Structure 1
Amino acid sequence: MLDANLKDQLKAYLEKVTHPLELVASLDDEDKSKELLSLLQEISGLSDKITLSTEGDNPRTPSFAITRPGEDTGVVFAGIPMGHEFTSLVLALLQVGGHPPKTSEDVLDQIRALDQELVFETYYSLSCQNCPDVVQALNLMAIFNPNIRHVAIDGALFQDEVENREIMSVPSIYLNGKPFDQGRMTLDQILAKVDTGAIEREAKKLSEKAAFDTLVIGGGPAGAAAAIYSARKGINTGIAAERFGGQVADTMGIENFISVSHTEGPKLVSALEEHVKDYEVDVMNLQRANSLKAADTEGGLHEVILASGATLKSKTLVLATGARWREMNVPGEQTYRNKGVAYCPHCDGPLFKGKHVAVIGGGNSGVEAAIDLAGIVGHVTLIEFMGEMRADAVLQKKLKSLPNVDIILNAQTTEVIGDGSRVNGLTYKDRTNDEIKHVALEGIFVQIGLVPNTEWLKDSPIEMSPRGEIIVDAHGMTSVPGIFAAGDVTTVPYKQIVIAMGEGAKASLGAFDYLIRL
């Protein structure tokens, strides 16, 4: 299953294994078990420290555990972890084999201190770029704490479980047999949820920090660029982000980032984070801004109050909280969110294999989603509000060439319909004659643009546009002296990664210029 180049790379990685480990496979007579056996044989053949057993008794087949001789580490893969999960497999092999993870000792100590029995199950899809974060975090927890066990399950391969548990979004995490969470989660987020005292301890530490010269709120491309440019000036810089990377972490293919012909969102996010850490930036991840108290006088300290209750102070701020997917705001959307209503076709598309789905939106995002889904699902209906699609001509041509796609124009979605547990249709108004029509389907992917993350600023003096975007001047300054903003959260047109980065750099330079003129 591994080509020669991948084998060479994997062999080089496995040289870092210091302790013997065993792959214990649970197989049946089906083709997928044969594929898994072939993969495990290739892996075990690349290192004399890895042995293979086919005596596993896991009821899920095909599956395999990664263990140490005489020790169950609690790491199990149900399925064949290729695609985005191949990295999860490699990291699990290295960590079970004794190679230290790139995780601080403080976090590892927090994992070791968890004293309850925790059995996690994660349903993933091989095309999901968010799933590896969850799989890798839970594998690490299982490896470093004998009370924890984690099974990573390929939802496309175990369709019966997906149907029985009514899983319609990945990653879906279960803890001790009950739903735990859905969507991308980092190790810190998972620990914060199972270690109930962690949030209070962290909030106390944050509130005790000295005031920053420049504090960046938001960890997307704009925020990362702002932090880097600020730190390079040699001033005390902090960055507080609810999720480092922002919406870029949910972006699959990036082909318009100048000088890089192709990359993927998670790779770019990782590079951004590493670049920020090259400088003396105080990175505060998993911190959501809740409100802002602007300084009473020019040159005073601005205060950002976080959702945890912590307060951060700074002489200048760069607000880069970005934007999120716009919702339809119709009856049934929230009821069936993650029960058929989805926002990430790359992540959740494989769960709708062979089914009828709709894509809401005829812009580039919507048409690209419809094209991708058409190769997985049985049928796609694209629903566009206007009388014509707004996507690039080349994308429209590709979409119209697909045999299993219908396009409905002049259609206003009015309601998401379901049976109480999952989506089974939607209604829309034909805007040419106001007739209400129904489409029977099993999934809805919403792709109708972005809304700025500015709700937390509603009681602040910062001036915003009617759309809720922060108004900035040519230097990135807001209506409040000393507070700057950048990226998708502002009125700057064209929401693109490369533009957000430039705006972030400009805003931090503006903040520095403001500081030296005080």
Structure 2
Amino acid sequence: MLDSTLKTQLKAYLQNITQPVDLVAALDDGEKSRELDDLLREIAALSDSIAVIHADADADVRRPSFAITRRGTDVSVTFAGLPMGHEFNSLVLALLQVGGHPSKLAQDVIEQVKALDGDFNFETYFSLSCQNCPDVVQALNLMSVLNPRIRHTAIDGGLFQDEVERRKVMAVPSVYLNGEPFAQGRMSLEQILAKVDTGAEARAAEEIKRKDPFDVLVVGGGPAGASAAIYAARKGIRTGVAAERFGGQVLDTMAIENFISVSHTEGPKLAAALEQHVKDYDVDVMNLQRAEKLVPAKVPGGLAEVHLANGAVLRSRTVILSTGARWRQMGVPGEDEYRNRGVAYCPHCDGPLFKGKRVAVIGGGNSGVEAAIDLAGIVAHVTLIEFDTQLRADAVLQTKLRSLPNVTIITNGKTTEVSGDGQKVTGLTYEERETGEVHTLALEGIFVQIGLVPNTEWLKDGPVRLSPRGEIEVDARGETSVPGVFAAGDATTVPYKQIVIAMGEGSKAALSAFDHLIRTVPADEAAAA
């Protein structure tokens, strides 16, 4: 299953194993079991520290599955299915970590995981095409290696369809804890810890309260925020970043092919590179922190305040707002009720869960048409609904879409309601805008692809001027309507919401903030004079 190049690379990685590992396989007579057996034997042949063992035929476990176990110990992680595609890296990391290779996780976080008190049995449903799933799988795998009272099984939802149907899993990654729903969507290890360690938020708030004022405080950790932090830190000034989710929407982006000088990358890879670049400098990164209020400086040269959801307050001489944007919702009855139960926003992640089913895509721009094309190769039928009188996607995409036999295109249509049976989506209602005629489609999934909305609700009714669309109004220097407060990226009025543009705007905002600092006398010095 592994080509020669991959085997060579994997063999080099496996040399880092310091403690022997057993691959305990639970197989049946199916084709996937034979594939898994081949995969495990190929891996074991690359290292003298790895052996394949077959579980008892009557063992009550998922098949095909395998446990990676540190020989003679309780340290173990389990994969149900074949962890290929996006999950192959998860497999390699699990082999290394179970085999004794140390994690690069911060020591204080490692100690926090080890100190968790209780028995935690996690199960994560993933799809091989999901770019969000590996973060969750790898985080929970590592937690189970660090703490013997934590167990984790990663389950390929596409392979265990009966289980997915029984548990009504409609989105990945979906995590269960001790048999009960725990979380859905991308989560970092720190986010998982915050949910299971009830005292973590209070401890973080107390630590933040003790921080000295910053020269530049960046609110938001996407491409704009990361660039702003790097440019500010390179000036040698005290720089902090408060981010609800470092990486922002880039984490949910699959293929990136227009980032200049990089022919192709994926969002999670770019987000990881951004975070590492920021950490190369003296930047105080405060992740998992949601801003709720901005209080401008009361006097020229004074300190602005950013109030966080956990009750802590950060102070800074200048502030750069880079809170980004998120997927726009339809805003129709039933959408909230059936989110992650048939209403989805990531076709790459959740598409495989709708294999052989009927789905709709809302939106006829590039994102919507690309989603419909991708889904058409998986599902039974795709109905694309566009509000405008014509599709807005590039011509080449429209040509491809119209060539697909299992796609129906509806233009000039207004989605009015999502319907369901209380558990999952069963249909969608739309209105023909020209005639007013109402139609109902029977389907199991709805993928919403209608653009972005800025993350600026926390700034409404505040001092910073917003556009009618809720975007932060900025000038050519990234300045807002409040002196000392700057903004950059998708949350602003700057046109064309692109990663490369956000990075440039973040850098510009940092340079403007530095210029403001060197031209403004601090309030305490002005008072002393």
The bucket for the TM-score relative to the shorter chain is: over 0.9
1:423 partner amino acid? V
How do residues 240-319 of structure 1 correspond to structure 2 at under 5 angstroms? 240-319=242-321
1:176 aligns with 2:178: yes
**1:434-485: CA deviation from partner (whole Å, max 9, x where unpaired):** 0111111100000000000001111321001000000001110000000000
Partner of 1:39: 39
Using structure 1 for the length normalisation, give the TM-score.
0.99
Question: Are residues 1:24 and 2:29 paired?
Answer: no
Query: Residue 325 of structure 1 corresponds to which residue in structure 2?
Result: 327
Shift >6 Å, 4+ stretches: none
Amino acid of the structure 2 residue aligned with 1:234:
G
Match of 2:142 in 1: 140
Question: Does the Cα contact within 8 Å between 2:77 and 2:145 map onto a contact in 1?
Answer: yes
Number of the residue aligned with 1:77: 79
C-alpha distance after superposition, 1:17-60 (max 9, x if no partner): 01111000000000000000000000000000001101253520
User: How many angstroms apart in 2 are the aligned matches of 1:500 and 1:73?
Assistant: 43
Q: Which residue of 2 aligns with 1:503?
A: 505
Distance 2:313 2:461 in 1: 17
Aligned partner (choices 388, 391, 414) of residue 389 of structure 1: 391
CA contact (8 A) 1:294 1:460 kept: no
Distance 2:279 2:383 in 1: 44
One-letter amino acid of the counterpart of residue 223, structure 1: G
- Give the Å deviation of 1:289: 0.7
SS at structure 2 position matched to 1:189: helix
The one-letter amino acid paired with 1:490 is T
Distance 1:246 1:328 in 2: 21
Instruction: Map Cα deviations across residues 226-255 of structure 1 (whole Å, 9 max, x no partner).
Output: 000001111100111111111111000111
Q: Where does residue 464 of structure 1 map in the other structure?
A: 466
Matches within 5 A, 1:489-500: 489-500=491-502
Residue 343 (structure 1) aligns with: 345
The one-letter amino acid of 1:2's match is: L
Q: Where does residue 420 of structure 2 map in the other structure?
A: 418
Partners of 1:354 and 1:377 within 8 A in 2: yes
Q: Which amino acid aligns with 1:127?
A: S
Q: 1:87 to 1:58 in 2, by over 3 A?
A: farther
Q: What secondary structure is seen at the aligned counterpart in 1 of 2:419?
A: strand
Aligned to 1:270, what secondary structure does the other structure show? Answer: helix
Q: Quote the Cα distance in structure 2 between the aligned partners of 1:84 and 1:290.
A: 35
| Secondary structure of 1:489 counterpart | coil
What count of residue pairs does the alignment treat as equivalent?
A: 518
2:381 maps to which residue?
A: 379
| Residue aligning to 1:441 | 443
Give the corresponding residue for 1:97. Answer: 99
Separation in 2, partners of 1:406, 1:11: 48
- Which one-letter code corresponds to 1:53 in the other structure? I
Tell me the distance in 1 between the aligned counterparts of 2:402 and 2:256: 23
More displaced stretch, 249-258 vs 289-298: 289-298
SS state at 2:490 partner: helix
Match in the other structure for 1:4: 4
Q: Give the distance between the partners of 2:209 and 2:3, measured in 1 at CA.
A: 52
Is 1:198 paired with 2:227? no
For residues 458 and 133 of structure 1, the distance between their equivalents in structure 2, rounded to whole angstroms, comes to: 33
- What 5-or-longer segments of structure 1 have no aligned partner? none
SS of the equivalent of 2:74 reads strand
1:400 & 1:480 partners in 2: Cα distance?
Answer: 49
Q: State the Cα deviation string for residues 67-96 of structure 1 (Å, max 9, x = none).
A: 112223241000000000000110000001
CA–CA distance in structure 1, aligned partners of residues 268 and 61 of structure 2: 33
How high is the sequence identity, in percent, across the aligned residues?
72
Distance 1:149 1:63 in 2: 15
For 2:68, the aligned partner's letter is I
In the superposition, relative to structure 1, how do residues 58 and 284 fare at CA in structure 2: closer, same or farther (>3 Å)?
farther
* Post-superposition CA distance 1:145-194 (Å, at most 9, x none): 11110000000000011000000000000000000010000000000100
CA contact (8 A) 1:126 1:154 kept: yes
Question: Once the 2 structures are TM-superposed, how far is the Cα of residue 296 of structure 1 from its aligned partner?
Answer: 1.1
2:120 paired residue number: 118
Q: Which amino acid aligns with 2:502?
A: A
- Matching residue's letter, 1:461: P
Instruction: Work out whether 1:224 is the aligned partner of 2:239.
Output: no
Q: 1:162 pairs with 161, 164, 169, which one?
A: 164
Question: What is the SS of the residue equivalent to 1:92?
Answer: helix
Indicate the residue corresponding to 2:408 in structure 1: 406
Aligned partners of 2:15 and 2:47 also within 8 Å: yes
1:34 match: secondary structure:
helix
Q: Is the 8 A contact 1:26 1:58 kept in 2?
A: no
Give the aligned residue type for 2:19. H
Deviations along 1:185-208, one digit per CA (max 9) or x if unpaired, are 000000010000000001100111
TM-score w.r.t. length of structure 2 = 0.97
Cα distance in 2, alignment partners of residues 58 and 12 from structure 1: 35
What do the CA deviations read for 1:114-157 (whole angstroms, capped 9, x no partner)? 12000000000000001011000101111111111000000000
2 CA distance for matches of 1:190 and 1:283? 18
Equivalent in the alignment of 2:524: none
| C-alpha separation in 1, matches of 2:234 and 2:485 | 19
The letter for the 1-side match of 2:457 is E
Amino acid at match of 1:313: R
Aligned-partner SS, 1:188:
helix
Segment of structure 1 superposing worse, 293-302 or 337-346: 293-302
Partners of 1:362 and 1:297 lie apart in 2 by 49
